[in-house]
Structure formats: structure tokens, C-alpha cells
């Protein structure tokens, strides 16, 4: 019992360190990426290539005043940033980084992650409602309708993977993709289902949905700077804002972990297990894959212009949901036909 | 089972203590100053605030929220089916096909009613 409790404390500690480091340095990567795509150097002043920028920003955020404007609902206002960070951290507990690096393998890991992702949507609602600011209000209405709309195709598309692997356990889903990169779920060649042309479609839907779920450009209607100042975190200063920011990046990491585990073989080596160190199934491959996906997220953000809220909701309700439902039925049919 | 519950509970409590500490620390570390202008809702530096937080927004957002409830419950209902599809066989597949087609009919009806016509 004491050993398992120690494991839990360790898991919480490592999860917080991992999320904190990632959130801090992904901001740096984002700014460097923005600089790269806009032909400017990005942060350069603090440390070599601006590498000291994130800790300095962190100290600055901690020591600024957390301004609570007059009209706000104080309790709700203070709870919202915590709610933004909390579910993202909890989700890390179930994510397997390798076959033995997982804090707490849960049999319904997929559902746990989706449940807490939905809780993250609530922080947007609570933040916008508690701020008593018209921009925050409009933003929270938008952001909630967006997360809600994209959660459905996300859930339904994940069902196709669950159906093929017959398990809700993230570790088991990866275990079935360990024979080199052709056994990954993203390819239309599945060892059991046979030739299944629908898998890339599922992958694409899942990718679009996870970009939209994390409120990233081109779907960042919740914090459209040109219309809504800063959206739901307009009224937040200091670490209140910092927690929202960290929550956003933690959600990006969760999203890319999920994409990697469901479609890109998790911690598996793309060449199969060759038995020599870098070419065995290990955590390095997992990290490589998630950072590649995060790079694509950043690339998309600085390449595409923002959509409109109507276009965004129409894309989900009129296209992605019917397509994902048909995709599910056809995949189930293929599974049966075989 | 009870060990699992204790573990999950410990994870929750651990995180529930650690994250609020960050908020409390920033309140303690940060300066405290107050003024009338600082306490106003943010309005890009304009002194007389136009509009307020209680303004109306489109009723269609409520309709979408209700729609979401239906589809979300349906998706959660499909998870156990997906896990045990191999045991259920063709029977399970046909049942779910009928269910999904009914849902799609509902979605098409709603779209024809013009819930997503934003004008």
C-alpha cells in the first residue's frame, strides 16, 4: 500500500514537472515557430537563442498582481484557471509513455481522457461567465459551442479504433501496433481488418477535432484577438492567465499523445524491434512522435487564417459528424465482412 | 478494487491541493493596489463602457447545446458496443446500423429546420 501511494505521489510530481516544462518550452517553440514562418528571429535576448525566456516569464507572471475587477463573481473567477489546468494534469496519469512508464493504467483510459477533456471545456464557460465582461461572455459562448461540437466527431472516430483493437485501454491499443510502421492504425492495411481505406479518414477527422478541441488557430474563435480582445481570459492577469496558458499547452500535449497512441503506434519503433538500443520500442520514439505532431500544430497555427464561428460550427455539424458516423458504420461492416 | 479507489482518490486530492497553491502564491507574492479605473471591466482603455455582460446572444447556441447532449450520450452508448462487437456478431452490427441511421435522420431533420442557418 505504501509503495503504491509513493508511486502516486511520484506520478503526480512527474506529471506536474512534465506539464510545466512542456508548457513553458512549448511557448518558446511557438514563438520561435512564429518567427520562423514570419521571417524574424523570435525571442533572442535572454539566454542562448532566448532559451531563458520561459522561466523569466514565469517569475514575472508569479510576481504580478492578480487583479480581481469589481463586478466579477469572485469564487467562480478564481476557480476557472484551476479548472483549466486540473483535467489536463489528470489525463497524464493514464497516458502510457512506454510499456512500463505509466502512472496508473486504467482499463477505460480512453474514456477517462475524454471525460476530463470535457471538464476542461467547463473552465472556459466558468471563466467567461464569472468575468462579467461582454467580450469574455461572447467568447465563452463561442468556445463552449465549439468544444461541444468537436467532441462528438472526436468520440465517434475514436470508437473506430476501439472497435478494431477491442479495448479501451491505451496500453493495449499500442500493443497491437508494435510490428513496424505498417502495422500502425493510420495505414489502410490492418492485419485483421485487411485493406481498410477508411483509416486515414479517421485519422484526419481526429486530427482536425483535436486542433479544434484545444482552441488552436485556425479554430481559435474563443480568443479571436481582433474581435474579442483576449476572449475568456481578458480579465485575468498574473498566474490566473498563466494557468490558462499552461492548460492550453497541456491540452495540446494530451491531444498529440492521443493521436500518437491511437494512430501512430505509441512508443513503438517504426522499424519494428531490432534489439539495438535506439531501435527498440522505447519512450524516445513516443516523445519524438508527439513533438512532431506538436510541430504540425504550430505549423498549422501560423499558416492558416482564422475561420468564422459559423463556418466552424457548420464544419462540425454538417460534415464531420455525418462523415464520422458513416465511417464508423463502414468500419464495423468491414470488421464483420472479414 | 478498494486499492484502485484509494489510488485514484490520492491522485485527485494531490492535484486538487497543488494547483490552487499556485493561485494562492501569486496572490501572496503579487503587489496589491486598487483604483476605480482598475476595477472596471476591460474595454481597451475606453472610460465609458458600452454594453455589458448580460447582453443577449443567439438562441441557436442553446439549441446546439441540447443537440450535443443527445449525440454525446449516443457516443458513450456506442463505446461498450464497440468493445464487444466481435461477440455480438452480425446482430449487433444491424442493431447499431438502425440506431445510427435513426440518429442521422434526426440530424438531417434538424439541419433542414435551419438550426445552422446563421442569418
Q: Which pLDDT does position B17 carry in this prediction?
A: 77
Cβ distance A91 to A114 under 8 Å?
A: no
CA–CA separation, B18 vs A89, rounded Å? Answer: 11
A130 versus B9: the higher-pLDDT residue is: A130
Question: Taking all residues of chain B, what is their mean pLDDT, rounded to a whole number?
Answer: 79
Specify the number of domains making up chain A. 1
Note every long-range contact of B8-15, with CB atoms under 8 Å and residues 24 or more positions apart, other chains counting. B8/A104, B10/A5, B10/A8, B10/A9, B11/A8, B11/A11, B11/A12, B11/A90, B11/A93, B11/A103, B11/A104, B12/A90, B14/A8, B14/A9, B14/A12, B15/A12, B15/A16, B15/A86, B15/A89, B15/A90
CA–CA separation, A309 vs A215, rounded Å? Answer: 12
The pLDDT tens digits of the residues spanning B11-25 come to 777 777 777 887 888
A222 versus B62: the higher-pLDDT residue is: B62
**Burial class of residue A247 in the structure, from the number of CB atoms within 10 Å of its CB (0-12 exposed, 13-18 middle, 19+ buried):** buried
Q: By three-state DSSP, how is residue A94 classified? A: helix
Interchain CB contacts (distance < 8 Å): A and B: 182
Residue B5 C-alpha cell reads as: 479507489
The pLDDT tens digits of the residues spanning A274-323 come to 777 777 777 888 888 899 999 999 888 888 888 888 888 888 888 999 99
Q: Which pLDDT does position A110 carry in this prediction?
A: 87
Q: Which pLDDT does position A190 carry in this prediction?
A: 65
Q: By three-state DSSP, how is residue A195 classified? A: strand
Q: How far is the alpha carbon of B47 from chain A, nearest alpha carbon, in Å?
A: 14
Provide the chain B residues 20-39 that lie in CB contact (below 8 A) with chain A. Answer: 20, 22-23, 25-27, 29-33, 38-39
**Burial class of residue A330 in the structure, from the number of CB atoms within 10 Å of its CB (0-12 exposed, 13-18 middle, 19+ buried):** middle
| Host H or E run for residue A309 | helix A309-314
Q: Which pLDDT does position A94 carry in this prediction?
A: 82
Mutation site for A-interface testing, chosen from B21, B23, B39, B72 by largest number of A Cβ within 10 Å:
B23
Q: Which pLDDT does position A293 carry in this prediction?
A: 92
Q: Which pLDDT does position A64 carry in this prediction?
A: 84
Interface contact A145-B65, CB threshold 8 A: yes
Residues 6+ apart with CB under 8 A from A155: A114, B72, B75, B76
- Taking 50 as the pLDDT cut, the residues of chain A under it are 1-2
CA–CA separation, B30 vs B47, rounded Å? Answer: 26
Q: Which pLDDT does position A1 carry in this prediction?
A: 43
> Chain A contact for B46, CB < 8 A?
no
Interface contact B79-A162, CB threshold 8 A: yes
pLDDT at B30 over 80: no
pLDDT tier at B40, thresholds 50, 70, 90: confident
CA–CA separation, A235 vs A65, rounded Å? Answer: 12
Interface contact B41-A132, CB threshold 8 A: yes
Q: How far is the alpha carbon of B13 from chain A, nearest alpha carbon, in Å?
A: 10
Q: Which domain holds residue A255?
A: 2-337
Q: DSSP string of A107-166? A: TTHHHHHHHHHHHHHHHHHHHHHHHT-HHHHHHHHHHHHHHHHHHHHHHHHHHHHHHHHT
CA–CA separation, A24 vs A45, rounded Å? Answer: 17
A149 contacts on B by Cβ (under 8 Å): 64, 68
The pLDDT tens digits of the residues spanning B103-118 come to 889 888 888 888 777 7
Q: How far is CA A184 from CA A113, A191, A198, A247, B50, in A?
A: 21, 10, 13, 29, 55
Tell me: ipTM over 0.95.
no
Q: Which pLDDT does position B3 carry in this prediction?
A: 64
Amino acid at each position: 500500500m505504501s509503495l503504491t501511494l509513493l508511486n502516486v505521489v511520484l506520478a503526480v510530481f512527474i506529471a506536474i514537472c512534465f506539464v510545466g516544462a512542456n508548457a513553458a518550452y512549448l511557448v518558446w517553440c511557438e514563438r520561435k515557430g512564429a518567427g520562423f514562418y514570419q521571417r524574424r528571429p523570435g525571442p533572442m535576448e535572454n539566454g542562448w537563442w532566448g532559451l531563458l525566456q520561459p522561466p523569466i516569464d514565469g517569475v514575472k507572471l508569479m510576481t504580478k498582481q492578480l487583479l480581481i475587477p469589481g463586478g466579477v463573481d469572485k469564487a467562480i473567477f478564481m476557480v476557472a484557471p484551476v479548472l483549466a489546468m486540473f483535467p489536463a494534469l489528470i489525463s497524464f496519469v493514464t497516458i502510457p509513455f512506454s510499456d512500463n512508464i505509466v502512472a496508473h493504467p486504467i482499463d477505460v483510459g480512453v474514456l477517462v481522457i475524454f471525460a476530463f477533456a470535457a471538464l476542461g471545456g467547463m473552465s472556459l464557460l466558468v471563466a467567461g461567465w464569472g468575468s462579467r465582461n461582454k467580450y469574455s461572455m461572447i467568447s465563452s459562448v463561442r468556445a463552449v459551442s465549439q468544444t461541444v461540437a468537436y467532441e462528438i466527431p472526436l468520440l465517434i472516430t475514436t470508437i473506430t479504433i476501439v472497435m478494431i483493437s477491442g479495448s479501451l485501454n491505451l496500453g493495449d491499443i499500442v500493443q497491437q501496433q508494435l510490428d513496424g510502421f505498417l502495422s500502425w492504425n493510420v495505414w489502410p492495411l490492418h492485419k485483421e481488418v485487411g485493406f481498410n481505406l477508411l483509416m486515414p479518414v479517421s485519422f484526419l477527422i481526429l486530427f482536425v477535432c483535436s486542433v479544434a478541441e484545444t482552441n488552436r488557430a485556425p479554430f481559435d474563435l474563443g480568443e479571436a484577438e481582433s474581435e474579442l480582445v483576449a476572449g475568456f481570459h481578458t480579465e485575468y492577469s498574473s498566474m490566473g492567465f498563466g494557468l490558462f496558458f499552461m492548460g492550453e499547452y497541456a491540452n495540446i500535449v494530451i491531444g498529440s499523445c492521443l493521436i500518437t497512441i491511437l494512430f501512430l503506434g505509441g512508443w513503438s519503433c517504426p522499424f519494428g524491434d531490432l534489439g539495438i538500443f535506439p531501435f527498440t520500442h522505447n519512450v524516445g520514439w513516443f516523445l519524438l512522435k508527439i513533438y512532431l505532431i506538436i510541430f504540425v500544430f504550430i505549423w498549422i497555427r501560423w499558416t492558416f487564417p482564422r475561420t468564422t464561428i459559423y463556418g466552424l460550427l457548420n464544419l462540425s455539424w454538417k460534415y464531420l459528424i455525418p462523415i464520422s458516423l458513416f465511417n464508423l458504420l463502414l468500419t464495423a461492416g468491414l470488421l464483420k465482412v472479414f | 478494487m478498494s486499492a484502485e479507489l484509494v489510488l485514484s482518490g490520492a491522485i485527485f486530492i494531490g492535484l486538487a491541493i497543488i494547483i490552487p497553491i499556485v493561485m494562492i502564491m501569486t496572490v501572496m507574492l503579487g503587489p496589491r493596489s486598487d483604483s476605480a479605473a482598475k476595477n472596471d471591466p476591460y474595454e481597451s482603455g475606453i472610460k465609458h463602457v458600452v454594453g455589458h455582460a448580460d447582453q443577449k446572444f443567439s438562441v441557436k447556441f442553446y439549441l446546439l447545446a441540447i443537440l450535443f447532449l443527445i449525440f454525446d450520450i449516443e457516443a458513450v452508448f456506442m463505446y461498450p458496443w464497440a468493445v464487444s462487437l466481435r461477440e455480438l456478431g452480425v446482430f449487433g452490427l444491424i442493431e447499431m446500423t438502425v440506431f445510427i441511421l435513426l440518429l442521422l435522420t434526426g440530424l438531417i431533420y434538424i439541419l433542414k429546420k435551419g438550426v445552422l442557418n446563421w442569418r
